[in-house]
Amino acid sequence: MVHRMPEPIRPATRADVSQIARTLAAAFVDDPVKQHLTGLAHVPPERSLAFFEAFTRIQLAHEHVYVTAGGEAAALWSPPGEWKIPVATILRWSPRFMRMYGRRFLANLKVLTTLEGMHPTEPHYYLEFIGVHPDHQRKGLGMALLEPIVERADREGVGVYLENSKEKNLAFYGRHGFQVRAETRLPGRNGPPAWLMWRDPK
């Protein structure tokens, strides 16, 4: 049986990479984790554009990047067993990552290592990034972006995992069945909190 995407969600293609990157860059200007890692109180979209282009291309290989019809919102997922990004891939894309982090790049790898150490060992789909352009928020697009993988995970009997950087989003994810497994703080001075959330299959 063919599974239908919720309107207006569709699988992304390489032609969508630039638009997805622009949307995510706009959505993450006030993200506490990105602010902490860059040392900026506001992360201009042009600062993170190359970063999100890289991650979109990396995750497209797994065929679980979803986008709205007009590119107003997007989600980057990893399937079970594919959540950890190989060192060789990080090195390949490091010039783009350095455009965002500059001299902080190597130090920020420690943050990645810390979060990887807390990653679940059970089979799961991993939500790498999800974002809605500020001009299109509060329209239900975020919820719609969760549905394809949540439903797939239920059919396959596996969990779903994400790292939430904003306390106000706890209720949003909770409505889709996610629960907080742990709360941590990112390494470094005044590291912001992060809520590690898990959803059991239904």
Residue 81 zone, left/alpha/beta (φ > 0; ψ -120 to 50; rest): left
Fold exhibited by the domain 9-199: Aminopeptidase (3.40.630)
**Extended beta strands in 12-120, E state:** 65-68, 73-78
- Structure token digits, residue 3: 């599974």
User: DSSP class of residue 44?
Assistant: -
Res 104: pLDDT: 82
Res 103: pLDDT: 80
Q: Measure the CA–CA gap between 40 and 37, rounded to whole angstroms.
A: 8
Q: Is 120 helix (H, G, I), strand (E, B) or coil?
A: coil
Res 89: pLDDT: 87
Residue with the bigger pLDDT between 80 and 5: it is 80
- Contact between 72 and 140 (Cβ < 8 Å): no
Q: In this structure, are strands 159-164 and 124-132 parallel, antiparallel, or unpaired?
A: parallel
Q: What is the pLDDT of residues 67-84, one digit of tens each?
A: 999 999 999 999 999 998
The domain limits of the chain are 9-199
- Contact between 18 and 172 (Cβ < 8 Å): no
Q: What is the mean pLDDT of the chain?
A: 91
Task: Return the residue matching tokens 């979803």.
Answer: 66
